[in-house]
Structure 1
Amino acid sequence: MDIQYQYHPDHLKNSEPTVYSAEGLKSEEMLINLGPQHPSTHGVLRLEVISDGEVVKDVVPHLGYLHRCFEKHAESVPYNQVIPYVDRMDYVAAMNSEHAYAMGVERMLGITDKIPKRVEYIRVLVAELNRLASHFVAIGTYGLDIGAFTPFLWVMRDREHIQRLLEWASGARMLYNYIWIGGLFYDLPVGFEERCASFSKYLKPKLKDLENLLISNKIFIDRTAKVGTLPLDLAINYGVTGPMLRGSGLKFDLRRVDGYSVYPELDFEVPIGSGEMGEVGDCWDRTWVRFRECEESVKIIDQCLERLTSDCKRTRDFDPREVVPKKIRPKAQDLYVRAENPKGELGFFFRADGRADQAIRCKARACSFVNLSVLPEISRGYMLSDLIAIMGSLDVVMGEVDR
């Protein structure tokens, strides 16, 4: 039985301590603010933590510190001028977000079948490069959150190669404005395919090194296995998507389920969590799924490069104005389009009135926002140190949360 000693006020006269049982003591809950300027909150997120000593009783996320006003911007400017605002939501995976938005407007215009195959393969190529870069940030900073410094340096080194490739194609390192409605800002630079193929060859053994250093590391497994377990039914009820949902054991990937762009023509697997090191849906499973998706993205990149250098060679520069009217005015309609971003399902709801060249309503379904909403459910009862591990396993970007 746990005991606590408390001396009688007149302890000088009575040197015998009074013994109280732990069951008879009422513990005090503490209110702890984690963030909004804390590196482990991955941006300006404030977590209001109610703890009983070291045990988390409840967590309340507070948002709104980085409000992008994306939806009102998208309703105030023409469709083609929204792309830079899309970049600033999930700024770690801007290419993927651009791809989803451009597909939505193209479907409203009915020009999806007019997009050349080369353009589609380039879109998938740069989106998968950006998926790699996003997962590198997620895995590297996650290791940093729980005390592993070297993996962060390794993934940032390899991510720099991707940043340089995307900068070469678009002119920007982070906010690309590259995938346009009806096409691309410009075709790939001459020699891009060869340099990208060299990067793919370089990266494959580096991923194996990363797996040995971090993913299979006993300390990392002990810190993440059986921590923050997200049951599949809870994930579905909360609308969780992406690696978090697949980490809970459901093989749901929009690249397969919806089969958009040229993904149906490509060969890749959809990894899911299996509870190999702990429980299905724990922090380790979510990290393992992201790591395996990096390997699958390399396979997709290789296939895109093969098509771009054989069936879809460069013939002439493609001008989006050939298929997109000068004034983009879709017919009156409501449309929802979604795509598989590195963090989950990014969706855009459009409402067009047939007269204006901007949407009268544009709603973004941000995967980071939805995934963050499940944090209180999977944090209760764990230690404060585990809360950092759980938070990092969500891989949220606050620009998308506060969109």
Structure 2
Amino acid sequence: MFRKILVANRGEIAVRIIRACRNLGIRSVAVYSKEDKNSLHVQLADQRVCIGEGPARNNYLNKEQIVTAALNIGADAIHPGFGFLSENAEFVRLCEENGLTFIGPGADVIDSMGNKSQARKTMMDAGVPVVPGTKEPVYDAETGFVQAEKIGFPVMIKASSGGGGKGMRVARDKEEFEFQFNMAQRESANAFGDDTMYIERFVENPRHVEIQIMADQHGNIAALGERDCSVQRNHQKLIEESPSPAISDKMRASMNKDAVLAAKAVGYTNAGTVEFILDPCGTYYFMEMNTRIQVEHGVTEMVTGTDLIVEQIRVAMGEPLSFSQKDVKIKGHAIECRINAEIPEKNFMPSPGIVKHMHLPAGNGVRVDTALYTGYKIPSEYDSMIAKVIVHAPTRDAALQKMRSALDEMVILGVETNLDFQYQIMRHPVFCDGKADTGFIERMMNLD
């Protein structure tokens, strides 16, 4: 049993991890920047350490500072949450070198899945379906063009080390390929320090469906069903739900099987997500694997009755999974809306500031993950997500109605939010019919 876990994150996910530690009787340590000194995760933790000020690179992305803090305060393990250092193999190795347990997969696994072109190759070799495209990395536009012609236009040019929509460009014909390749490569070099690219067939307006997996150190792997994350803006998810209204029971079983196959192919341990895209013809392809807990993990928890953060900690301590594949039952329907401090009418411009008043929805089957409180100052230095509203009901229609009610009840004053925008989506006929794909938001806003 760990005695003390340092939480290398902030905001609602840090609060979520601290509460899981409490449930297990484990002491928690919060790290924080000076901008976050009054944050909820700092107040809830048993101990706290300031690790700098200013932008994230000076604090939450400072590997050495975080490890030093953990050692000085006597922590046994570090939970990275999501974002920041959660998929940084160097950080994992630094933890291990200093006798700290990293609550997540091993460094080599993160490396193999973090490099998207390497991950594609691994999945091809394992027999997991991937979008037709290159198997080897591409380093220049000339080589890329030859491959693009073999694949057939339009193509998607992607950064091997990419994520969050960076280093991604579509080339619809050969005339624009060189320009788009060079732009994507430049973005990748600037964002990730890596100009390695790969190319695949561009699937127009697919569905985005991902499978949650948990694996222990004893060879046990379980898939916990899917989440549909198709409602996105600029490749950033806005709404997630489970089960997906887009797939059949037969496809669900096949995707779960392929997700487990993918995890086995890389010797995966702890929580992870295997992401697929589903084309308009109903064919799915492996897209990538996220080697961490996801923002939307609560959706899976609601329909499976699991606690994925507690399970992560138990697995990191060397314990076997508390459930097997046959124990996983999907019950009812869950939907999550991400609430951001931003102004949709002004191209989703961030809206930091002081929360003057707030009221959170509650009731049976309603969950709000947040670090907000009245008087809290939302800083401008970090991501604009401030809450996740999650509902659970016996059917999708009932879940939709419950989410409308929850959003209608929720009040946040002092900053602008996307609450009204999310409410509009919950009443939009395309979404209500379960037919929203990754191009839905763009079409919705153009129509408006």
User: Normalised by the shorter chain, which TM-score bucket?
Assistant: under 0.3
Greater helix content: 1
TM-score (normalised: structure 1): 0.22
TM-score (normalised: structure 2): 0.21
